[in-house]
Amino acid sequence: MIRLENNEHWLLLGHADHAALAGEFARHWKNDRFAPPNPFAHILDAVSRHDDSWKERDAEPELTQSGHPSAFSRELVGTYEAFEEIDLPAYLAVRGRATEQAAVRDPYSAVLISMHTVNLLTEQADPDTLDAEGKVLLNAFVAGQRNRQTELLASLAGSGMNPEFLTPEALRRGFEFLQACDSFSLLVGVDYPGRSALRHRHPFGAEDAVEIVYEPLGNRRYRLDPWPLDEPELIFDIPYRRVAKSATHTLEAFRAAYAQADVEPVRIVVTGATS
């Protein structure tokens, strides 16, 4: 779940809706300087469904020790130092299911989703907030995911898939594309108020790979530079649920309020223009 807040309410976005937004962004990633990676259908599956395993957990959301909805927020942009606020075994179980659910329908997608999970838990997370038992659990999970990637790639190699798509370079490109689209969805989902960048550098025509800078323009308008999409300006609707802060005094009250909350689409505009 992703959260925004004002004085009286939380605006909450489910993980699956966040991933669907990332997928819509991915579909538009193409112009005369930027090209989507291949095999695109498999990569798009990973982008748009990388958080499918969160659906059940988001249906019964949790509260943190401080009484806030347990969710990604502005404070976590650029880091992932939030282990102290989560149930680690339950969290890792959800992350593991993301790989296995994808493996059933699309093993290539599963590899990319697993790579995303491993990166999240190693390069983006701070394990120093874990106790010794938690570190052992985390390390075992990461090792298991890497082993699972090897198994899935072996099955793909025997499936007749084009070997070019199974090279480390191709997999890295698909993984970095997933992370770029994911970071776009996270930044706009929390209405991040400062300049940032989509994750990783990306191929830019015949030139070297470039960083794509995110800049908020106000009133839910955002600029990307350089512009990677296929139209001069694009509109996306983000389906939040609004929950009163007064409803978070108990977990039961919060879950009831969330279940009863209507979906309130918030329209955003993404542009390559300066204003």
pLDDT by residue for the chain (275 residues), tens digit each? 999 999 999 999 999 999 999 999 999 999 999 999 999 999 999 999 999 999 999 999 999 888 999 898 888 776 655 565 678 899 999 999 999 999 999 999 999 999 999 999 998 888 888 889 999 999 999 999 999 999 999 999 999 999 999 999 999 999 999 999 999 999 999 999 999 999 999 999 877 899 999 999 999 999 999 999 999 999 999 999 999 999 999 999 999 999 999 999 999 999 998 76
What Cα–Cα distance (Å) separates residue 40 from each residue in 23, 145, 208, 264?
Answer: 11, 23, 22, 31
Q: Are 70 and 12 in contact (CB under 8 A)?
A: no
Residue 127, pLDDT score: 84
Q: Are 84 and 129 in contact (CB under 8 A)?
A: yes
Under DSSP, the state recorded for 124 is S
Residue 128, pLDDT score: 84
Secondary-structure breakdown of the chain: helix, strand, coil percentages, each rounded to the nearest 5: 50, 25, 25
Exposure string for 194-220, b = 16+ CB within 10 A, e = fewer: eebbbbbebbbeeeeebebebbbeeee
Total residues found in the chain within this entry? 275
Closest C-alpha to 41, from 100, 101, 105, 96: 105
Q: What is the pTM of this model?
A: 0.95
Extended beta strands in the chain, E state = 2-5, 9-13, 196-204, 207-218, 221-225, 233-244, 263-271
Residue 82, pLDDT score: 57
User: Strand pairing of 221-225 and 2-5?
Assistant: unpaired
